Amino acid sequence: MSKLIKRRRYSDFEINTMDLAVTVASNSYCERRKVGCLILKGNQIISDGYNGTISGFQNCCEDEESGLTLPTVLHAESNALMKLLRNGSMGLNGCTMFVTTSPCLNCAKMIIQAGIKKLFYSDKHHLDEGLELLKETGIEVVQIYPTANWLAATLPQHKLAKFENVKLAEYE
Ligand SMILES: [Zn+2]
């Protein structure tokens, strides 16, 4: 698929946790892009989420005719945050988030307000206002470069083509 490169700037724990976020993403019914998110307090995972429709709606993320994402879809980051609210949050101040795709502007606002202090993302979305906002407010933002397997698990075949000339990471 592409030239693989070794990156040793992350800990095994960080790579394994992103790998787990990709596994969470694979539960998503969304076809355009599957996103997984984990929230950690220290080294402990306290919530997870993937993009999908809100409770009470059928598990279909795209409009059948246009193929566009339905307004009833909630992003992975928001789902992970809401799950904590639903089940009783222990407070997220100082927490870390792992998300497979860089957050949109709306999720970034909630991440900031929730008190999350560090965010790891893998695949960079072409709309990067969310990422810029996080950086502006002093949240530590780290990209863990995607592997070919991670992309294959979260993106449809036709979207993978644009990564053909991108250097992908390989972690062992
Ligand atoms: Zn979002």
Residue 59 is predicted with a pLDDT of 84
* Residue 136 appears among annotated catalytic residues: no
- Work out the average pLDDT over 18-23: 98
Is 51 or 1 the better-scoring residue by pLDDT?
51
Residue 89 is predicted with a pLDDT of 79
Catalytic residue among 65, 77, 136, 172: 77
Indicate the pLDDT class of residue 8, thresholds 50, 70 and 90: low
The two tokens of residue 122 are 């893998």
Question: In residues, how long is the chain?
Answer: 172
Residue 6 is predicted with a pLDDT of 55
Q: Would the pLDDT of 99 be above 90? A: yes
Q: Locate tokens 């992003």: which residue?
A: 75
Whole-number Å distance, alpha carbon 76 to ligand 1 midpoint, is 7
pLDDT in tens, 53-92: 988 888 888 988 998 988 889 999 999 999 999 888 789 9
Task: Return the H-helix or E-strand segment holding 8.
Answer: none
Whole-number Å distance, alpha carbon 160 to ligand 1 midpoint, is 21
For the chain, give the mean pLDDT. Answer: 91
Indicate the pLDDT class of residue 143, thresholds 50, 70 and 90: very high
Whole-number Å distance, alpha carbon 144 to ligand 1 midpoint, is 18
Residue 168 is predicted with a pLDDT of 85
Q: Locate tokens 């795209």: which residue?
A: 62
- Distance between CA atoms of 165 and 38, rounded to whole angstroms? 29
- Work out the average pLDDT over 115-134: 96
- Distance between CA atoms of 7 and 162, rounded to whole angstroms? 21
Segments in 26-147 forming alpha helices (H) = 76-87, 105-114, 129-136
Whole-number Å distance, alpha carbon 97 to ligand 1 midpoint, is 13
Segments in 36-136 forming alpha helices (H) = 76-87, 105-114, 129-136
Residue 4 is predicted with a pLDDT of 56
- Work out the average pLDDT over 159-167: 82
pLDDT in tens, 46-55: 999 999 998 8
Indicate the pLDDT class of residue 130, thresholds 50, 70 and 90: very high
**CA dihedral of 96, 98, 101, 104, whole degrees rounded to 10:** -30
Q: Would the pLDDT of 9 be above 90? A: no
Pairing of the two strands 36-41 and 96-101:
antiparallel
- Distance between CA atoms of 147 and 72, rounded to whole angstroms? 30
